[in-house]
Structure 1
Amino acid sequence: MTRSNAEPVGDGLVLVDKPAEWTSHDVVARMRRLAGTRKIGHAGTLDPMATGLLVLGVNRATRLLTYLVGADKEYTATVRLGQDTVTDDAEGEITRSPGAAHPGELTTRLPAAVLGLTGTIDQVPSAVSAIKVNGQRSYARVRAGQEVALTARQITVHTFEVTGSRPAVADDGTAVLDLDVRVECSSGTYVRALARDLGAELGTGGHLTALRRHRVGPFDLQGAHTLTELAERVDLLSVTDALRARFPARELTAAEARAVRYGQKLDATGSSGVIAAFDPDGHGIALLTDNDAGNLARPVLVLDPA
């Protein structure tokens, strides 16, 4: 049941288990109707083919999303060895089909190839992506028939684990090898580019046929809801709970909390990163960072202003 006249909700995060074939924009549009507010954004998109965790900010919590986008992520996926596609996943047309007629030989070489794509590596993003090239999205240039050569970016693949494999036959009759994998990686990693590069390392093609995101930073699918469930009840993770989950905490005195609510500086936190500030009642009110001199902390985001 969809609530057509939803009562507006408060501030917080919504953890959505995105269905396949929905764009992230589709999910945001649906949540705007369900939550009764246009102030909704997301902390990183998922491709339409992908399913899994999409972190949305509602109302004042949209201001938090900038600080969540850079979190590490965890996925499970299926890599098909033996074919390349224009998008590096099953949504794009096949561009090359060298096949995987000898799966035993590929499996023998697999551990070394996976190891070469683990750790801090330079990755060329998928050409069909939202990265801008001279002000235009890369995917728009590709669809217009232009050649796109994106610059490699440094990423970190913390875990690249093959959990299963099976020979298969593609729709065009090509012999392929499907791999089930688990990936933990830094923000900015393209899992479909990992599939492409794994195929290249093994001397064949590679692309994704399935992708599911399980975790963004400290938030995972265990706390997520389907759109059907959210149509019944919009379950918000409060700003305070989100801050406690994502950032180191600094407990403020009443005087310090008052100063932060007015955007004033405090004594340094002693940390090189972002710190969440909580008032004496335990309410999350701001994010702090130390200045360059390291002697003062300034609020970079005040979520509960005076």
Structure 2
Amino acid sequence: MLQGLVLVDKPEGPTSHTVVAIARRRLGLKKVGHAGTLDPMATGLLVLGVGPGTKLLTYCVGMDKTYRATIRLGQSTHTDDAEGEALGDDADQALLDALDEQQIADALGQCVGEIDQVPSAVSAIKVDGQRAYDRVRAGEDVRLAPRRVTISDIEVTAIRREGAMWDVDVAIECSSGTYIRAIARDVGRLLAVGGHLVALRRTRVGPFDVADAIAPDDIEPSTLMPLGAAAGQIAPVCALGAAQSVEMRHGKKIFLEPPESALDGEPVACVGPGGDLVAMCRIENQVAHILVGFGQPEGGS
């Protein structure tokens, strides 16, 4: 069975589910999933798990991420991005003309840190069992509860006028669960001119970088990252001997010294002598507790 991770550079237009469908077709395999949805208008890194590799996606979903985005100041939309309908009139032109780069940078700075962010109403978050975006499309006034997220840094890379409005290019480092659209909305509110997102590109998910990603149409078996190599980027590695690998796959108790770089309680990638991933474990008192096990790959030893 094919197994591994593949890093895909999603183009603008298709949904994340569409990219998964392309991977399934090109690999001839149903068991393909992704870690972290990108909106259709967004581009950039999508981490796909293939076969048993889908088990590793659990460890990717919660990773910090980096984005490059363009925020347009001067108009709000009901989706907080360019795909939505405008809300109300454009901002007062005098307010827009009075804005300067320092005011914009200061407003963005207020969004940095550990904050309670209200997600965009048009999102996949479920409200009473139904997606928020479905409720909005049905005409409901959806108000989502704030969520605690961490925005580590927002760097302004360019500011320019776009007609009567302002376009602000930013680089953002943030925790999983952060809505970049919501940052655009909140900055627009802080400046009293409205704001929405007009471009978004995800450049990093944890240790994985979009520079190493491929186009969806280039996916093939040879482009899969082996599970052992992928897990070694996700977690500290504990090298197993051949006998230990067999015993762990049979569910026997294994005594291991945790890697020096491992923090207490964090997952460890247990890798066999051939580089194959045997299990993700937690090591307590030198005893390996299996969190997720992986079968022996074809041709493995």
When normalised by structure 2's length, the TM-score is 0.90
Name the stretch that deviates more: 280-289 or 50-59: 280-289
Partner of 2:109: 115
1:239-276 superposed Cα distances (whole Å, 9 cap, x missing partner): 11101111111122344323321234434746221111
Question: Identity over the aligned pairs, expressed in percent?
Answer: 48
Partner of 2:68: 76
- Alignment pair present for 1:280 and 2:273: yes
1:94-126 superposed Cα distances (whole Å, 9 cap, x missing partner): 113225653553422123212211111110101
Aligned length: 290
Residue 214 of structure 1, CA deviation: 0.7
Partner of 1:239: 227
Partner of 1:37: 29
CA contact (8 A) 2:157 2:170 kept: yes
Change (3 A) 1:147 1:257: same
Match of 1:205 among 187, 190, 194: 194
Change (3 A) 1:264 1:103: farther
- Alignment pair present for 1:302 and 2:293: yes
Letter aligned with residue 246 of structure 1: I
Match of 2:236 among 226, 241, 248: 248
After TM superposition, the structure 1 = structure 2 runs for residues 33-182 of structure 1, keeping only pairs within 5 Å, are 33-96=25-88, 97-99=90-92, 101=94, 102-103=96-97, 105-169=99-163, 175-182=164-171
CA contact (8 A) 2:22 2:217 kept: no
CA contact (8 A) 1:103 1:167 kept: no
CA contact (8 A) 1:13 1:238 kept: yes
Partner of 1:5: none
Find the aligned partners of 2:17 and 2:55 in 1 and give their Cα distance: 18
Residue 147 of structure 1, CA deviation: 1.1
CA contact (8 A) 1:252 1:277 kept: yes
Find the aligned partners of 1:287 and 1:241 in 2 and give their Cα distance: 13
1:186-237 superposed Cα distances (whole Å, 9 cap, x missing partner): 1000001011111111122011000011111111111111123337x75111
- Alignment pair present for 1:230 and 2:186: no
CA contact (8 A) 2:67 2:201 kept: yes
- Alignment pair present for 1:196 and 2:185: yes
- Alignment pair present for 1:22 and 2:14: yes
When normalised by structure 1's length, the TM-score is 0.89
1:273-292 superposed Cα distances (whole Å, 9 cap, x missing partner): 1111112333221101246x
Partner of 1:271: 264
RMSD across aligned C-alpha pairs, in angstroms?
A: 2.0
Find the aligned partners of 2:43 and 2:124 in 1 and give their Cα distance: 18
- Alignment pair present for 1:219 and 2:211: no
Find the aligned partners of 1:275 and 1:201 in 2 and give their Cα distance: 43
Residue 16 of structure 1, CA deviation: 0.9
Find the aligned partners of 1:216 and 1:296 in 2 and give their Cα distance: 30
Partner of 1:257: 245
Find the aligned partners of 1:255 and 1:118 in 2 and give their Cα distance: 49
In structure 1, stretches of 5+ residues that fail to align are: 1-8, 170-174
CA contact (8 A) 1:18 1:52 kept: yes
1:2-61 superposed Cα distances (whole Å, 9 cap, x missing partner): xxxxxxx72111111111110011111111111111111001110000011111111110
Residue 296 of structure 1, CA deviation: 3.6
Change (3 A) 1:280 1:230: closer
Letter aligned with residue 91 of structure 2: P
Letter aligned with residue 45 of structure 1: T
Find the aligned partners of 1:103 and 1:263 in 2 and give their Cα distance: 68
> 2:171 aligns to what SS in structure 1?
strand
- Alignment pair present for 1:11 and 2:11: no
CA contact (8 A) 1:99 1:205 kept: no
Letter aligned with residue 186 of structure 1: S
